[in-house]
Structure 1
Amino acid sequence: MHILKTASMPLGRGVGGGNVGEAAADPDKRGKGGRPTSGLCIRLDFWSDRTPLHEAAYQGRLLHLRGLVAQGFHVNTLTMDRVSPLHEACLGGHYACAKFLLDNGANVEAVSTDGATPLFNSCSSGSAACVRLILQQSASIHTPCQLASPIHEAAKKGHRDCLELLLSYGAHVDVELPVMGTPLYSACEAQAANCVRLLLHSGADVQLGCGQDSPLHAAVRGGGADVVDLLLDFGADCCCRNADGKTPLDLSSSNSAVRVALQKRGPCSLSQLCRFCIRRSLGRSRLHRASSLFLPHSIKDFLLYQ
């Protein structure tokens, strides 16, 4: 007979491992990586394959981590779900612990059974320092698991600094994944206006969402008038229809701020159309060069939405 106890570990962590009771039977009661997301009763052996090294890394206890490694604990020890101590350090946002593990040979490309990498966990925690550290180790920006994409995770969590770092290291701003869509779509779903703004300024295609569902559809469903205004400023099409034949206006609630934002927009002005055309001609990779064009400063600022 297994003795039961109430789960008391912090929520939102990486993969645990071992046998679980109710959480294993009902996937909807488990968070990303398989850990319970509520106070369920779990078996004691749920954590049986987690080492003190994993716990010290997640909790940011650098001195304890050093001592454990000195005692012979291997930095690439994996749980049953293939979670490494580096995964845990990054998920906890502990730069010093992550650096120590990397300096001692931790695998920067480790992939857990749910597809999470140290880079993904860094983006999930919102630690720009950990993201920069991992990227400096030449880690792959693109994950083999489509449900654990670092750029989508940073976008939907609203972690602008992490997103900016990924883009500066060459992450594809318009990568579209099944179910998740593009990073812009993820940011619009989450109403992460700061990330929506960054992606649009970085040249994200305002029309690319998830299949026929556009970022504007996602923003309208989320009820964020500020995000809707941003998308419209960058040329989002109010008349586009999703797979159900619905326009963004069809999805808006009557008398809502979102509906007002959609209805107050008339046809694009000539200056707006020119801006869209010039930005498309420059292309995403050359947008930053607009500031060096032989044009009045006011026009260059207009082209760059400054």
Structure 2
Amino acid sequence: MEKEIVPSRSNFFGEIGCWVERTPMHEAASLGHALRLQQLIQSGAPRAQVDIRTVHGSTALCNACAAGSPECAKLLLEYGATANPTLTALTATPLHEACIRGNVDCVQLMIAEGARLEAFDIYFGTPLHAACMKQHVDCARVLLNAGANVNAARFHETALHLAAKENNVDLIEMLVAFGGNVRATDNLSRKPIDYTRPASLSATCLEFYESTPLSLQQLSRVVYRRALGSRAEEWVSKLHLSPRIISYLSYR
């Protein structure tokens, strides 16, 4: 017999919506059960509003993205779920949840649905910060190709600081390729290299980028992507360029 999770009470806090205990809809989304989720919505189950929040501030769409279920996420969006729910001290956006868990399909879906790339979570920062903190390189690449600000700061800490802390050379190289500032300082006046171990791969990589100016080719890519921002992917496919150049501009 399926266990029903009945909300004991609800609270309404202005623009951030109605908050309740975890509902069957949240449960279905968190498990990736698209059919069950659809049945709950269509049957008018108690509190089956698609944007209702749990006491922890999560919407069902947040749960679906955390679970890595694009099927559930698409279903919720079709029924009017908000891609950009209002952030509070307790909440993260669906895009943040997808980046935290490394669910690249959900990241792509949420970006296509207009999720804000610079939405700021009080703990993680931007979605790019979340992806880099959790070392999800593919998610970070999707965000950057979509126009995420590579030098966005979380308490003056950039994604490059996080990549350096995690000793992730792949992330470091990609962030620099998208214009990451190797000399950016955080609130402790520390650069990314200051968070690496001497002679480590990440330290050697950052030392190289600090001492070697970007080539004209690299600068052209940075300027191109900075100028077009979130429209870079749209426009690059319309240019009469070779597949190799397109691949370079898109960092594929």
Question: Same fold by TM (over 0.5)?
Answer: yes
Q: Percent identity?
A: 31
Return the offset for 1:196. Answer: 0.9
Query: What TM-score do you get using the length of structure 1 for normalisation?
Result: 0.72
* AA matched with 1:88: E
8 Å contact from structure 1 (residues 78, 85) kept in 2: no
1:298 aligns with 244
Q: Structure 1: which 5+ runs fail to align?
A: 1-50, 55-76
Alpha-carbon RMSD across the aligned residues, in angstroms, is 1.8
Question: Among residues 53, 57, 63, which one is paired with 1:115 in the alignment?
Answer: 57
1:201 aligns with 145
Query: What TM-score do you get using the length of structure 2 for normalisation?
Result: 0.86
1:99 aligns with 38
Q: 1:298 to 1:223 in 2, by over 3 A?
A: closer
CA separation in 2, counterparts of 1:124 and 1:294? 39
CA separation in 1, counterparts of 2:173 and 2:55? 40
8 Å contact from structure 2 (residues 8, 21) kept in 1: yes
1:260 paired with 2:204, answer yes
Question: Among residues 215, 219, 230, which one is paired with 1:273 in the alignment?
Answer: 219
* AA matched with 1:137: Y
Query: What SS does structure 2 have at the residue aligned with 1:277?
Result: helix
**1:110-259 equivalent positions in 2, closer than 5 A:** 110-146=52-88, 147-259=91-203
Instruction: Answer 1 or 2: higher relative contact order, Cα 8 Å, separation at least 6.
Output: 2
8 Å contact from structure 1 (residues 115, 143) kept in 2: no
**Per-residue CA shift, 1:111-138, capped at 9, x if unaligned?**
1121111001111111121111111112
* AA matched with 1:221: K
Return the offset for 1:255. Answer: 2.2
1:52 aligns with 3
CA separation in 1, counterparts of 2:244 and 2:60? 43
Q: How many residues align?
A: 234
Query: What SS does structure 2 have at the residue aligned with 1:52?
Result: coil
* AA matched with 1:129: E
**Per-residue CA shift, 1:73-109, capped at 9, x if unaligned?**
xxxx424552211011111111111111011122111
Q: Which runs of 4+ in 1 moved over 4 A?
A: none
* AA matched with 2:56: D
Q: Structure 2: which 5+ runs fail to align?
A: 10-19
Return the offset for 1:281. Answer: 2.0
Q: 1:213 to 1:136 in 2, by over 3 A?
A: same
8 Å contact from structure 1 (residues 115, 144) kept in 2: no
Query: What SS does structure 2 have at the residue aligned with 1:264?
Result: helix
8 Å contact from structure 2 (residues 4, 24) kept in 1: yes
* AA matched with 1:231: L
* AA matched with 2:38: K
